[in-house]
Amino acid sequence: MNKKSNCLSDLRERILSQDIAPGSGMDEVSLSAHYEISRTPLREILHRLAGDGYVEIEENRGARVSSMDLSVMRVFFQTAPLVYSTIARLAAENRTGQQVDVLKSTQVSFAAAARAGDTADAALLNHQFHEQIGQMAQNPYLLISLKRMLIDHTRLSQTFFRPQSEADSARIAKSIDQHDAMIAAIDAREPALAIDLTLRHWDLSRDQMEKYVRPDPLPLDVISMKDRRNAI
Amino acid sequence: MNKKSNCLSDLRERILSQDIAPGSGMDEVSLSAHYEISRTPLREILHRLAGDGYVEIEENRGARVSSMDLSVMRVFFQTAPLVYSTIARLAAENRTGQQVDVLKSTQVSFAAAARAGDTADAALLNHQFHEQIGQMAQNPYLLISLKRMLIDHTRLSQTFFRPQSEADSARIAKSIDQHDAMIAAIDAREPALAIDLTLRHWDLSRDQMEKYVRPDPLPLDVISMKDRRNAI
DNA sequence: TGTATTTCGAATGTATACATATTGTGTATA
DNA sequence: TATACACAATATGTATACATTCGAAATACA
């Protein structure tokens, strides 16, 4: 039983971290061998992942990780503000005290991982943080949408928590602060504030994702290339 | 293969029509015997139904049809206008000509069934009609929300297409007309109009659902009861 | 009589052998 | 050389036997 739930969560994490690339096929035999379970429970796991939107299953053609083509991403950027802010509002209205405690505890772990530069952990804990806000909204219909958006969001923001410059570190610090402010707004039951903070948080994340999708162009000046060549 | 997809769609229909009541358990052995497939593919079907929100599966406790308790219904009425109108807007913006044709054809079948008093068919075709509008929106994130809402909507509006008075028949006719208007708005790519029509359609449906949830109280006058007693 | 424990039955979960479908490769033919 | 067909290899789909778990009835004990 432990092996099975371990397999499920591990596959989820590997998909979220793009350790298994979008669009890549998932062979039942090799996966079942790897996780030391037979094909029957593994197939069940694949179907659950399909239900959650992690993978897509085609008749007689097996499962493949949900793709992230350009048309999907366009819709993602279009839809995220609506879903995120609605969820934030409902969370501020409906959260229980216990849920706030859980959220705070996740935030502590997240901040530690993000500051320490544990990229994978930070991304996963960030995912968890936002999913918990989704739980607080107490709205199963919108929660599903949020969960599916978060899958793509986490995959897209894979570089977010890997600081490569001073500006990156500042951005991470800002992100942590925004989380704290969001917790405060939800805790204080202030829907309007929660929406506002969520939209700011989205702006920050969106800018970074755009950089990931459309990175800085390679340098055009031949001089620096020459210098490098000499160095080799 | 045919048996399996037949089983899947039949279970869906039975859940939507409340032929299998919300909250009731689904025994794997008896179901697999009934549909003449073995337990392995049946379990797969149950997991797919769980992924779509038709049933809920608990570890070692099997599957049961998703419940519709009061807390869920409150959220349903709260969320439906947002999701429905957003989907309608996107459908008007993004629909393809082919999709409009499919929608028109479904509407013909629906109108026929509704006018003929084929309650179950009308409810199912109504479900299909709104799901097709969801497809037109080309937004996988919101489509999931819509699909889950439609499951509960169809179950709640079970009495909608069973006319028991002149007023009921008028309501059904109005509902058919509203569908036609929605098709026209989507076909003409008029998002604002599509939203407006959708909200009117929702109002009509909501009023009827409220009657289903909170039916007219039983008559209090003893006189009429006496008359009935004499009749027996 | 009430409560705790055991045991047994019925359901769900897993492994494996077998059936079927897809895909790529090789060969024949125009 | 290109195309079509056949066949083999590999993957997915299904059936069934067996393992495990849950819950309820029965029994033991206070």
Burial degree of A144 (CB within 10 A; 0-12, 13-18, 19+): buried
pLDDT of A222 reads: 59
For B163, list phi and psi in degrees, rounded to 5. Answer: -65, 130
> Each residue of A193-212: pLDDT tens digit?
999 999 999 999 998 888 77
The tens digit of pLDDT for each residue in A216-230 reads 787 776 555 555 555
Average pLDDT over residues A41-57: 97
Q: Which range, A65-69, A211-215, B87-91, has the best average confidence (pLDDT)?
A: B87-91
Residue B228 pLDDT level (bands cut at 50, 70, 90): low
Sequence length of chain A is 232
Looking at domain A3-65, which CATH architecture does it have? Orthogonal Bundle (1.10)
- What is the reported pLDDT for A232? 39
Per-residue pLDDT reduced to its tens digit, B149-168: 999 999 998 878 888 888 88
The pairing of beta strand B55-58 with beta strand A25-26: unpaired
Q: CB within 8 A of A36, min separation 6: which ones?
A: A3
Nucleotides of C under 7 A from a protein CB: 11-17, 21-23
Asked whether the predicted pLDDT for residue B225 surpasses 60, the reply is no
Measure CA of the first residue to CA of the last residue in chain A; give whole Å: 53
B149 contacts A144? CB cut-off 8 A: no
Fold (CATH) for A70-231: Four Helix Bundle (Hemerythrin (Met), subunit A) (1.20.120)
- What is the percent of chain B where pLDDT is above 90? 78
**CA proximity to A122, closest of A20, A17, A40, A215:** A17
How does residue A116 score in pLDDT terms, banded at 50, 70 and 90? very high
Inform me whether the C-beta atom of residue B45 falls under 8 Å from chain A C-beta atoms. no
Q: Name the average pLDDT for chain A.
A: 92
Report the distance separating Cα B2 and Cα B19, nearest Å.
22
pLDDT of B145: 98
Residues of B (114-173) whose Cβ lies below 8 Å from A: 138-142, 144-145, 148-149
**pLDDT over 70 percentage in chain B:** 94
A41 at B interface, C-beta within 8 A: no
CA terminus-to-terminus distance, chain B: 53
pLDDT band (50, 70, 90) for residue B224: low
CB A186 within 8 A of CB A194: yes
Q: Which residue has the higher pLDDT, B200 or B70?
A: B200
Per-residue pLDDT for B144 more than 60?
yes
Is a pLDDT exceeding 90 seen at residue B3?
no
Contact B154, B126 (CB under 8 A): yes
pLDDT of B232 strictly over 50: no
pLDDT of residue A224: 57
pLDDT of residue A227: 54
pTM across the whole model: 0.91
pLDDT digits (tens, 9 = 90+) for B46-68: 999 999 999 999 999 999 999 99
* Residue at shortest CA–C1' distance from C23: A61
d(CA A59, C1' C30) / Å = 36
- Asked if pLDDT for residue B200 goes beyond 70, the answer is yes
pLDDT: which is higher, B193 or B223: B193
Closest partner CB to B141 (pick from A50, A51, A145): A145
- Report d(CA B178, CA A3) in Å as an integer: 53
Taking the CA atoms of residue B174, residue B176, residue B178 and residue B184 in that order, the dihedral angle to the nearest 10 degrees is -150
CA A128 to chain centre: 8
**pLDDT greater than 90 at residue B220:** no
Sole residue written with tokens 């006496």: B226
Nearest by CB to A145, from B44, B72, B145: name it: B145
Q: Span A47-58, mean pLDDT?
A: 97
**Among partner residues A48, A75, A140, which is closest to B140 by beta-carbon distance?**
A75
How confident is the model at residue A25, as a pLDDT? Answer: 93
pLDDT at B37: 96
Between CA B170 and CA B38 the distance in angstroms is 47
Q: How far is the CA of B36 from the C1' of C19 (A)?
A: 17
User: Using CA atoms, how far apart are residues A25 and B183, in angstroms rounded to an integer?
Assistant: 39
Q: Nearest Cα to B46, choosing from B84, B92, B86, B15?
A: B15
User: Domain coordinates of chain B in residue numbers?
Assistant: 3-65, 70-231
- Does B109 contact chain A (CB < 8 Å)? no
The pLDDT mean for chain B works out to 92
Which residue would you say has higher pLDDT here, A229 or B90? B90
Any CB–CB contact under 8 A between A204 and chain B? no
- The whole-number pLDDT of residue B123 equals 96
Note the helical H segments in chain B: 2-16, 28-34, 39-52, 70-94, 97-116, 119-136, 140-156, 166-187, 191-213, 222-231
